[in-house]
A and B are shown apart, each in its own frame.
Chain A
Amino acid sequence: MSQKYYLLRNREVADIDRMDVYLAHGGYQALKTALTDYKPEELVDLVKKSGLRGRGGAGFPTGMKWGFLPNDGRKRYLVVNSDEAEPGTYKDREIIEKNPHQLVEGIIISSYATKAREAYIYCRGEFLFGAEQLQRAVSEAYAEGFLGENILGSGFSVDLKVYRGAGAYICGEESALLESLEGRRGNPRLKPPFPAIAGLYGGPTVVNNVETITNVPAIVTYGAEWYTSMGTAKSPGVKIFSVSGRVSRPDNYEIPLATPLRSLIDDYAGGVLPGHKIKAVIPGGSSVPLLLPDKLDTPLDYESVLQAGSMLGSGGCIVLDDSVCMVGATARLVKFYREESCGKCTPCREGTYWMTDVLDRIERGQGTEEDLDTLMDIADNIGGKCFCPLGDASLGVLVSAMKFFRDEFEAHVREHACPMGAKLYDTVNH
């Protein structure tokens, strides 16, 4: 499939992670345009008109978020969330490793728009190379006068620092991220107040995802109408989908929103592995409910995926085929939430522990009919009862798997074994 890239420009231009190459391909022109042709408020309006929505998972309109900052004269912060750790999602890592300057340019423009004097990139601890690439890009941007005092003679100043996390998925949740950045354990904060009112060091703060901010230079360059010419009225623009699992060409695909799920899987990712059939798809990262093959024609925009019974989330699309045991796959994902529960609230901390325990037992063939009810019971005690969204996230796949594939769970109990051999990987298939 032919592709045009606005975000993953590294796929068209070799070495675009270098300042000279980025500049030679129009880099930092959007920054110049923003600083000379726009007042900050006009940029906020531009982003509102573009309809850009947050790519970190929740899809919140970016311009509207920027508009929430109170005008009370306090120092403002922009924090970019590069903690990407949602299983199945690997788009932000490609941006920071391969096209870091576009992110840095986006951060400077967004800081100008939101009048932030200080900006941070919170980079997942495991992304050592990504942090190095970002640090290099930031240093190069300082050297060119794109960061620091009085940028390009505009009178606008902003500083940007790269901050390394140290291994904790929960720090992707924005308030936990801010706690971490302030030198504490990454436990989420009570909301409200939201970061716009009381964020980093108590100051008004915008938190945005890497991919969200990487869109900003393109929107300045090509305009809001270009952006709304793609996707739907409510979900305009382009989005990167990370496809993995049982497909021929697992990779990141940058495509207009509202592209059908079937097209992403078949036309882009090369379809399910030869000789196999799709069983279910996790369309938006490990936290969202499964979609069955009858939903493959769902357009990948926020509203349509929700209507189909799942969520677009982070765009991490995991394809499961008929070789995959749904109990094993579910157990694997629920265990992730057990590992990553921050432990602050009981339903999540204890619930993810017990669900993992029961699921492992069923997968090993030692589960009982009663265990299936126990699972749903624990899920009931987690759903809507946790301090932050991680608790609910642990239920997305589980509850839908129990609904759509209850027969598989029952077969495990009845046969006292996993009918598929209790292995997620079958050497015969490879």
Chain B
Amino acid sequence: MKPEWNQWAREFKEQYPGANSALMPLLHRIQAEEGWLSDETIHDVATLFDLPESYVESVASFYSLFFRNQVGKKVVHVCVGLSCALAGSDRLMENLEHRLGIKEGQTTADGEYTLLEAECLAACNQAPVVQVNLRYFEGLDPERPDVLLESSKSPEEEVKP
């Protein structure tokens, strides 16, 4: 456990009438630093909340944005919703798979990229859309996946709770 986690947990708990409401904010905060939620993290968070590990695990596993496996520095979510599909998202996904040499759901060997499907990202007017570490890339050309991989921002700049 990192020393600051205790402090964060206390701060979040003070903000809500029910202590468990602080659980998701803490998981978000830790994941923003660590990149994912390991078994050890689940254990530590359970201790901080005086909850069974199984409870924390049941919450963490319910939500698709909590990663229970190690992910790449950049998590690429390709929207595969209907409006994006009509604008070529499947083709874009294929091109990304080819370009990165991995399949959807996998992480590149150098730990740089994880490629995932997303459901409708509420940007259907800009289809097809992708999020890289939850930042939008809109109106993409399905044949030009490279623009997604050239973003200059570091993930640290991009994801803060």
Contact = CB atoms under 8 A, between A and B. Distances in A.
Contacts of A286: 82, 120
Nearest to B124: A244
A25 interface: no
Contacts of B159: 128
Interface stretch (B3-11, B18-26, B104-112, B147-155): B18-26
B86 A246 contact: yes
B125 A87 contact: no
A164 interface: yes
Nearest to B59: A185
A397 B88 CA distance: 21
Q: Which of A84, A88, A128 has the most chain B CB atoms closer than 10 A to its own CB? A: A128
Interface stretch (A7-15, A104-112, A298-306, A332-340): A332-340
B17 A244 contact: no
B122 A128 contact: no
Interface residues of A, number: 57
Contacts of B59: 183-185
Interface residues of B, number: 48
Contacts of A318: 82-83, 124
A85 B119 contact: yes
Nearest to B21: A183
Contact of A425 (B63, B77, B88): B88
A283 to B, nearest CB: 14
Contacts of B62: 168, 185-186, 342
Interface stretch (A89-97, A382-390, A412-420): A89-97
Tell me whether chain B's interface is mostly helix, strand or loop, or mixed: mixed
B136 A424 contact: no
Contact of A165 (B63, B85, B135): B63
B24 A164 contact: yes
A245 interface: yes
A251 interface: yes
Interface string B128-150: 00010011100000100000000
B83 A427 contact: no
Nearest to B27: A166
Contacts of B66: 166-167
Given A181-B21, A250-B125, A320-B86, 20 more contacts: A85-B119, A87-B82, A87-B119, A87-B124, A89-B120, A90-B122, A93-B122, A125-B63, A126-B118, A128-B159, A129-B134, A129-B135, A161-B15, A182-B21, A246-B86, A250-B127, A286-B82, A318-B83, A324-B86, A425-B89
Interface of B: 15-25, 27-28, 58-59, 62-66, 77, 80-83, 85-91, 118-125, 127, 131, 134-136, 142, 159, 161
Interface of A: 84-90, 92-93, 118, 124-129, 161, 163-169, 180-186, 201, 242-246, 250-252, 286, 316, 318, 320, 324, 329, 332-333, 336, 339-340, 342, 423-425, 427, 430
